[in-house]
Amino acid sequence: MTTETRIKALVDHQCSILCCTPTYALRLAQVAAEQGLRGEDFALRAIIVAGEPGGSLPAVRSRLQEFWPQARVWDHHGMTEVGPVSYECPEHPCSLHVIQDAFHCEVLEPASDDAVAPGQQGELILTTLSRIGSPLIRYRTGDLVRAPEPGLCRCGSEDPRLEGGILGRCDDMVVVRGVNIYPSAIDQIVRSQATIAEYQVEVFTKDHLTELKVIIEPIASLQPDEVPHLASELARDFQVSLALRVPVEVAQPGTLPRFEMKAKRWNRR
Protein backbone atom coordinates (compact mmCIF):
# COMPACT_ATOMS: atom_id res chain seq x y z
CA MET A 1 0.00 0.00 0.00
CA THR A 2 1.12 3.55 -0.63
CA THR A 3 0.91 6.19 2.09
CA GLU A 4 -2.14 7.66 0.35
CA THR A 5 -3.82 4.24 0.28
CA ARG A 6 -3.11 3.70 3.96
CA ILE A 7 -4.65 7.06 4.82
CA LYS A 8 -7.77 6.16 2.83
CA ALA A 9 -7.98 2.84 4.68
CA LEU A 10 -7.63 4.57 8.05
CA VAL A 11 -10.51 6.92 7.21
CA ASP A 12 -12.78 4.44 5.36
CA HIS A 13 -12.53 1.78 8.07
CA GLN A 14 -12.51 4.31 10.93
CA CYS A 15 -9.47 2.63 12.44
CA SER A 16 -9.03 3.47 16.10
CA ILE A 17 -5.42 2.32 16.66
CA LEU A 18 -2.34 3.06 14.56
CA CYS A 19 0.97 1.19 15.11
CA CYS A 20 4.12 2.30 13.25
CA THR A 21 7.45 4.08 13.68
CA PRO A 22 7.27 7.70 14.90
CA THR A 23 8.83 8.74 11.58
CA TYR A 24 6.02 7.16 9.59
CA ALA A 25 3.30 8.53 11.89
CA LEU A 26 4.66 12.02 11.13
CA ARG A 27 4.67 11.18 7.41
CA LEU A 28 1.03 10.02 7.53
CA ALA A 29 0.02 13.26 9.24
CA GLN A 30 1.89 15.35 6.67
CA VAL A 31 0.36 13.58 3.64
CA ALA A 32 -3.12 13.65 5.18
CA ALA A 33 -2.84 17.41 5.68
CA GLU A 34 -1.71 17.81 2.05
CA GLN A 35 -4.86 15.94 1.02
CA GLY A 36 -7.00 18.42 2.94
CA LEU A 37 -7.81 16.01 5.75
CA ARG A 38 -7.93 16.98 9.41
CA GLY A 39 -7.41 14.95 12.53
CA GLU A 40 -11.16 14.97 13.12
CA ASP A 41 -11.62 12.95 9.91
CA PHE A 42 -9.95 10.00 11.63
CA ALA A 43 -11.29 7.79 14.41
CA LEU A 44 -7.86 7.25 15.96
CA ARG A 45 -7.81 7.13 19.74
CA ALA A 46 -4.33 5.63 20.19
CA ILE A 47 -1.06 5.89 18.25
CA ILE A 48 1.54 3.32 19.32
CA VAL A 49 5.02 4.10 18.02
CA ALA A 50 8.06 1.82 18.17
CA GLY A 51 11.14 0.73 16.24
CA GLU A 52 13.24 3.88 16.78
CA PRO A 53 13.72 6.62 19.40
CA GLY A 54 11.15 9.37 19.03
CA GLY A 55 8.07 8.20 20.88
CA SER A 56 9.39 9.70 24.10
CA LEU A 57 10.67 12.92 22.50
CA PRO A 58 8.32 15.79 23.47
CA ALA A 59 8.69 17.54 20.09
CA VAL A 60 7.70 14.40 18.13
CA ARG A 61 4.72 13.68 20.39
CA SER A 62 3.61 17.31 20.14
CA ARG A 63 3.70 17.22 16.32
CA LEU A 64 1.58 14.04 16.27
CA GLN A 65 -0.98 15.34 18.75
CA GLU A 66 -1.27 18.64 16.92
CA PHE A 67 -2.76 16.74 13.98
CA TRP A 68 -4.56 14.04 16.00
CA PRO A 69 -5.53 15.84 19.23
CA GLN A 70 -8.05 13.12 20.07
CA ALA A 71 -5.44 10.33 20.03
CA ARG A 72 -3.09 9.42 22.87
CA VAL A 73 0.47 8.71 21.75
CA TRP A 74 2.08 5.68 23.40
CA ASP A 75 5.75 4.77 23.14
CA HIS A 76 6.71 1.09 22.99
CA HIS A 77 10.09 -0.61 23.20
CA GLY A 78 11.17 -4.14 22.41
CA MET A 79 13.72 -6.20 20.51
CA THR A 80 13.69 -9.34 18.41
CA GLU A 81 16.23 -10.94 20.74
CA VAL A 82 14.26 -10.47 23.97
CA GLY A 83 10.69 -9.55 22.98
CA PRO A 84 8.65 -6.65 24.40
CA VAL A 85 10.73 -4.88 27.04
CA SER A 86 8.85 -1.86 28.35
CA TYR A 87 5.58 0.05 28.39
CA GLU A 88 4.88 3.76 28.70
CA CYS A 89 4.16 5.12 32.16
CA PRO A 90 0.59 6.50 32.26
CA GLU A 91 1.67 9.27 34.65
CA HIS A 92 4.93 10.19 32.88
CA PRO A 93 4.24 10.23 29.10
CA CYS A 94 7.93 10.38 28.14
CA SER A 95 9.06 7.47 30.32
CA LEU A 96 9.10 3.70 29.92
CA HIS A 97 8.68 1.00 32.59
CA VAL A 98 10.79 -2.14 32.13
CA ILE A 99 8.63 -5.24 32.69
CA GLN A 100 10.23 -6.44 35.91
CA ASP A 101 8.51 -9.84 35.89
CA ALA A 102 10.23 -10.61 32.57
CA PHE A 103 13.60 -8.88 32.92
CA HIS A 104 16.34 -8.02 35.34
CA CYS A 105 17.72 -4.72 34.05
CA GLU A 106 21.00 -2.93 34.68
CA VAL A 107 22.34 0.36 33.33
CA LEU A 108 26.10 0.35 32.80
CA GLU A 109 28.74 2.72 31.48
CA PRO A 110 29.40 1.33 27.96
CA ALA A 111 33.16 1.82 28.09
CA SER A 112 33.86 0.46 31.57
CA ASP A 113 30.84 -1.77 32.35
CA ASP A 114 30.52 0.04 35.70
CA ALA A 115 27.02 0.67 37.04
CA VAL A 116 25.89 4.28 36.65
CA ALA A 117 24.10 6.28 39.34
CA PRO A 118 20.31 6.76 39.19
CA GLY A 119 19.42 9.44 36.64
CA GLN A 120 22.71 9.09 34.77
CA GLN A 121 23.00 7.83 31.19
CA GLY A 122 24.26 4.39 30.32
CA GLU A 123 23.58 1.26 28.28
CA LEU A 124 20.55 -0.86 29.11
CA ILE A 125 21.58 -4.45 29.98
CA LEU A 126 18.87 -7.11 30.18
CA THR A 127 18.67 -10.60 31.60
CA THR A 128 15.54 -12.51 30.60
CA LEU A 129 13.67 -14.23 33.43
CA SER A 130 10.93 -16.11 31.60
CA ARG A 131 12.05 -16.81 28.01
CA ILE A 132 12.58 -20.57 27.68
CA GLY A 133 13.38 -20.78 23.95
CA SER A 134 16.14 -18.15 23.84
CA PRO A 135 17.25 -17.04 27.31
CA LEU A 136 19.83 -14.26 27.48
CA ILE A 137 22.10 -13.30 30.38
CA ARG A 138 23.31 -9.70 30.65
CA TYR A 139 22.44 -8.92 27.05
CA ARG A 140 23.88 -5.63 25.78
CA THR A 141 20.95 -3.93 24.08
CA GLY A 142 22.92 -0.97 22.71
CA ASP A 143 20.09 1.29 23.93
CA LEU A 144 21.06 4.44 25.79
CA VAL A 145 18.82 5.18 28.81
CA ARG A 146 18.87 6.95 32.17
CA ALA A 147 19.30 4.64 35.15
CA PRO A 148 15.99 4.35 37.06
CA GLU A 149 15.45 5.98 40.40
CA PRO A 150 14.63 3.56 43.24
CA GLY A 151 11.17 3.41 44.77
CA LEU A 152 7.54 3.28 43.75
CA CYS A 153 6.47 5.30 40.71
CA ARG A 154 3.64 7.83 40.99
CA CYS A 155 1.53 5.56 38.77
CA GLY A 156 1.79 2.82 41.40
CA SER A 157 4.12 0.55 39.44
CA GLU A 158 7.22 -0.99 41.00
CA ASP A 159 8.71 -1.64 37.54
CA PRO A 160 11.93 0.36 36.93
CA ARG A 161 11.13 3.60 35.09
CA LEU A 162 13.44 4.91 32.37
CA GLU A 163 13.01 8.69 32.37
CA GLY A 164 12.95 9.96 28.79
CA GLY A 165 12.53 6.46 27.35
CA ILE A 166 15.16 5.32 24.87
CA LEU A 167 17.54 8.25 24.41
CA GLY A 168 19.42 6.78 21.46
CA ARG A 169 21.83 4.04 20.45
CA CYS A 170 25.26 3.81 22.08
CA ASP A 171 26.92 3.22 18.71
CA ASP A 172 25.13 6.18 17.07
CA MET A 173 26.95 8.82 19.08
CA VAL A 174 29.12 11.25 17.10
CA VAL A 175 31.74 13.43 18.77
CA VAL A 176 31.88 16.81 17.03
CA ARG A 177 34.52 19.23 18.33
CA GLY A 178 34.39 17.60 21.75
CA VAL A 179 30.57 17.54 22.00
CA ASN A 180 28.76 14.19 22.18
CA ILE A 181 25.86 14.26 19.71
CA TYR A 182 23.09 11.65 19.58
CA PRO A 183 20.56 11.49 16.72
CA SER A 184 17.68 11.88 19.19
CA ALA A 185 19.05 15.29 20.25
CA ILE A 186 19.03 16.50 16.64
CA ASP A 187 15.56 15.02 16.12
CA GLN A 188 14.16 16.83 19.15
CA ILE A 189 15.50 20.19 17.95
CA VAL A 190 14.40 19.78 14.32
CA ARG A 191 10.91 18.50 15.21
CA SER A 192 10.36 21.58 17.34
CA GLN A 193 10.06 23.50 14.04
CA ALA A 194 6.63 22.71 12.59
CA THR A 195 7.55 24.09 9.15
CA ILE A 196 10.22 21.42 8.50
CA ALA A 197 8.84 18.51 6.50
CA GLU A 198 11.96 16.30 6.49
CA TYR A 199 15.68 16.46 7.16
CA GLN A 200 19.00 14.68 6.65
CA VAL A 201 22.28 14.80 8.56
CA GLU A 202 25.68 14.48 6.91
CA VAL A 203 28.67 13.44 9.02
CA PHE A 204 32.07 13.97 7.42
CA THR A 205 35.74 14.59 8.19
CA LYS A 206 37.36 17.94 7.51
CA ASP A 207 40.98 18.71 8.47
CA HIS A 208 41.01 15.45 10.50
CA LEU A 209 38.00 16.61 12.55
CA THR A 210 34.49 15.17 12.55
CA GLU A 211 31.87 17.67 11.38
CA LEU A 212 28.16 17.47 10.72
CA LYS A 213 25.71 19.38 8.56
CA VAL A 214 21.90 19.36 8.63
CA ILE A 215 19.87 19.58 5.43
CA ILE A 216 16.24 20.56 5.90
CA GLU A 217 13.25 20.48 3.56
CA PRO A 218 10.59 23.10 4.40
CA ILE A 219 6.92 22.30 4.02
CA ALA A 220 5.60 23.20 0.56
CA SER A 221 3.35 25.95 1.92
CA LEU A 222 6.21 27.93 3.47
CA GLN A 223 6.75 31.21 1.65
CA PRO A 224 10.17 31.57 -0.08
CA ASP A 225 11.04 34.69 1.90
CA GLU A 226 10.49 32.75 5.16
CA VAL A 227 12.98 29.99 4.33
CA PRO A 228 16.20 31.88 5.24
CA HIS A 229 14.69 32.81 8.60
CA LEU A 230 13.80 29.14 9.26
CA ALA A 231 17.37 28.02 8.51
CA SER A 232 18.94 30.69 10.70
CA GLU A 233 16.50 29.99 13.54
CA LEU A 234 17.32 26.27 13.44
CA ALA A 235 21.06 27.00 13.43
CA ARG A 236 20.52 29.21 16.48
CA ASP A 237 18.59 26.40 18.22
CA PHE A 238 21.53 24.04 17.62
CA GLN A 239 23.93 26.60 19.06
CA VAL A 240 21.81 27.10 22.19
CA SER A 241 21.00 23.42 22.83
CA LEU A 242 24.29 21.80 21.82
CA ALA A 243 26.78 24.67 22.26
CA LEU A 244 27.87 23.85 18.72
CA ARG A 245 27.72 25.59 15.37
CA VAL A 246 25.88 23.31 12.94
CA PRO A 247 25.56 24.49 9.30
CA VAL A 248 22.01 24.26 7.97
CA GLU A 249 21.29 23.85 4.26
CA VAL A 250 17.87 24.03 2.60
CA ALA A 251 16.62 21.47 0.06
CA GLN A 252 13.76 21.96 -2.37
CA PRO A 253 10.33 20.61 -1.32
CA GLY A 254 9.90 16.94 -2.15
CA THR A 255 13.61 16.18 -2.69
CA LEU A 256 14.62 14.45 0.57
CA PRO A 257 13.75 10.75 1.01
CA ARG A 258 10.68 9.62 2.95
CA PHE A 259 10.60 6.56 5.19
CA GLU A 260 7.89 4.03 5.95
CA MET A 261 9.97 1.89 8.32
CA LYS A 262 12.96 2.94 10.42
CA ALA A 263 14.37 6.22 9.18
CA LYS A 264 17.93 6.48 7.82
CA ARG A 265 18.60 10.19 8.09
CA TRP A 266 22.26 10.06 9.08
CA ASN A 267 24.75 9.71 6.23
CA ARG A 268 28.44 9.26 6.96
CA ARG A 269 31.00 10.08 4.28
Which residue range forms the structural domain that includes residue 6? 1-79
Total-model pTM: 0.80
What does the DSSP 8-state code read for residue 177?
T
- On the CB side of 129, how many CA atoms lie within 13 Å of its CA? 9
Q: Is residue 85 part of a domain?
A: no
Q: Is residue 11 part of a domain?
A: yes
Whether 73 shows a pLDDT value over 90: the answer reads yes
Query: What tens digit of pLDDT does each residue of 177-211 get?
Result: 888 888 888 998 999 998 999 999 999 888 778 88
Do 31 and 1 lie in a common domain? Answer: yes
How many domains, the chain? Answer: 3
Burial of 77 (0-12, 13-18, 19+ CB in 10 A): buried
pLDDT of residue 258: 87
Q: What is the mean pLDDT of the chain?
A: 91
Do 149 and 221 lie in a common domain? Answer: no
Query: What tens digit of pLDDT does each residue of 133-165 get?
Result: 889 999 999 999 999 998 899 999 999 999 999
Query: 22-34 and 3-12 helices cross at what angle (nearest 10)?
Result: 80
